[in-house]
Chain A
Amino acid sequence: MKKIVEIALGIVTSVGGFLEIGSITTAAQAGADFSLQLIWAIVLGGLCIIFLVEQAGRFAAVSGRTIPDAIRERFGFKYFSVLYLTLVVVSLLVLAAEIGGVCIALELATGIGLQWWALPATFVIWLVIWKGTFGVIEKGVSMLGLVTVCFIVGALMIHPPWDQVLRGAVPSLPQHDSAHYWFIAVSILGASISPYLFFFYSSGAIEDEWRETHVGINRVIATSGMSFGSLISIAVLILAAMIFAPQGIKIEHYSQLPQLLVPVFGHKGFWLLVASLGIACMGAAMEITLQIAYLTAQGFGWNWSENQRPLDEARFSFVYTIVLLLAALIVLTGIDPLSVTIFSMVLTAATLPVAIVPFLFLMNDGRYVRSYRNGWLSNAVVILIIGLAFVLAMVSIPLQIFGGS
């Protein structure tokens, strides 16, 4: 019974914590610009993240170490410093986008400009991390994040053509705007295969004191949680495809987002969108902030845990405080949150190889994972993901230039 509760809770937190500003925006843009044709990108990204999250969780449960921690040990400081710098820069941008998402939700709710919310929203995020424990952030915020299931309800209520939905799950070539099509596909993959997701997951496994006995639970949670999470993204795409695409409306501003749910739920849809956007972005902002602090502490061998008092881990607490301040400053510059979101998703795709290549070595190193090494299937999938990551890294920046407008 205890295991069932643990699995259920794990799935709920994975689902609730899955959606964030990147996945909402990229899925909505895909639906508006290319109708149901880009569902395959979410499916592909979902499959990749299932494998990577499962492996990150298995690694942590068996070795008691996180992936970044082992990367420093196994690959040395030079490799780690490249990983660290790229991840911190990209994560800072993604964090700014998430804080921007919270501010947009508050602007939609109150009519007060989003920049006015940058500091209060950042302060609330900091306060929850400062005072809260890992459980509060992981379970509390993710439970609230379940409000995002309203997108699935909406997608079902709008009665999409299911044959076309299934056809969209199979990759196909664009009929128009090729560069933009591939640009959106890369953005979706960048939003789905986000290194912060699987690095945070492995840190969470240590925070939750997972042991070898959690290997099975981890597999169920990673597979079900990420699958349901991807379903929510697909639901956002379906809604945009059914509502925006037929009218030829492009998503150029966040203020258009409520239109995803208003035609289905009426005025309640507006508030559902505001709540979904605000909570999902706030949860993601907390996870990313913590992930940067985890990455720093693990890489340099400091004490780290969100369950300790800030005083007992001064460097760890200092890092997340500074990171939040920097991200708030980015929002305060007045930069368009939609642009930051899309740019950071593309940048994430460009930096994927650095974060994913180590999986192949670590998940086959008996000193860490003992008899829980990757089988041929997992290794084959990781090699495919690495191949995909290199392709994404090479095409993402040119596509940003030629297809990003």
Chain B
Amino acid sequence: MDLFRDCLDKELEDRNHRRMGRVDGLILEVEDGRPPRVAYVEVGVKTLLDRLSRRLGSAAARQLKKFGIDTEPYRIPWGKLHFGLNVVHADVEAEKTPALEWELWLRKKVIGRIPGA
């Protein structure tokens, strides 16, 4: 598998085919004497910004923390993933994971309070 072509930045769907973000990062495990192994994929704003610049990622995380927003990326174990042509399926329920934390917060605190939502 070509990790850049077939995994990184692909759309992630949960087991109910709900979009839950994109594969923002890959976590490799390196053990002595063995080839590196992909252990997790990451979803999260800090992982994304780290790809532009580590300094930008850390600065954004610090600022967001001041507002009580946790930027810790959500990790999905490699074993829970299945790869389609242009989509990665994760065997998880999106709404029960931190991947949809902002969506649910906005739904409850902002959008849900506007009439007609």
Contact = CB atoms under 8 A, between A and B. Distances in A.
A and B part of one assembly: yes
B46 interface: no
A46 B52 CA distance: 36
B72 interface: no
Contacts of A78: 51-52
Contact of B9 (A72, A131, A303, A315): A72
Interface in B1-58: 4, 8-12, 18-22, 24, 48, 51-52
Nearest to A75: B9
Contact of B111 (A63, A72, A80, A318): A318
B77 interface: no
Contacts of A130: 114, 116
A153 B13 CA distance: 51
B21 A311 contact: no
B7 to A, nearest CB: 10
Contacts of B4: 76
A301 B116 contact: no
Nearest to B12: A301
B64 interface: no
B103 A73 contact: no
A81 interface: yes
Nearest to A299: B22
A133 to B, nearest CB: 13
A193 B25 CA distance: 34
A63 B52 CA distance: 29
A58 interface: no
Looking at B11, B18, B51, the one whose CB has the most chain A CB atoms below 10 A away is B11
A345 B24 CA distance: 33
B22 A301 contact: yes
Contacts of B18: 303
B59 interface: no
Chain A interface residue number, banded: 20 to 34
B97 interface: no
A301 B48 CA distance: 13
A310 B111 contact: yes
A146 B115 CA distance: 32
Nearest to A311: B117
Interface residues of B, number: 28
B67 to A, nearest CB: 16
Interface string A304-322: 0000011100110110000
Interface in A54-76: 63, 65, 69-70, 72-73, 76
Nearest to B47: A77
A185 to B, nearest CB: 36
Contact of B106 (A70, A81, A315, A367): A315
A368 interface: yes
Contacts of B106: 314-315, 318
Nearest to A71: B9
Contacts of B24: 77
Given A303-B19, A310-B117, A315-B106, A73 B86 contact: yes
Contacts of A311: 107, 111-112, 117
A302 B111 contact: no
Contact of A301 (B19, B51, B52): B19
Interface string A287-301: 000000000000011
27 contacts: A73-B10, A73-B11, A73-B86, A76-B4, A76-B9, A77-B9, A77-B51, A81-B52, A130-B116, A131-B116, A300-B21, A301-B20, A302-B19, A302-B103, A303-B18, A303-B103, A310-B114, A310-B117, A314-B104, A314-B106, A315-B102, A315-B103, A317-B117, A318-B106, A367-B85, A367-B86, A368-B86
Given A81-B52, A317-B117, 11 more contacts: A70-B86, A73-B10, A76-B9, A77-B9, A77-B24, A301-B12, A301-B20, A311-B107, A314-B104, A317-B111, A368-B86
The list of the 7 closest CB pairs from A to B, nearest first, reads A301-B22, A314-B106, A314-B107, A314-B111, A301-B21, A311-B117, A310-B117
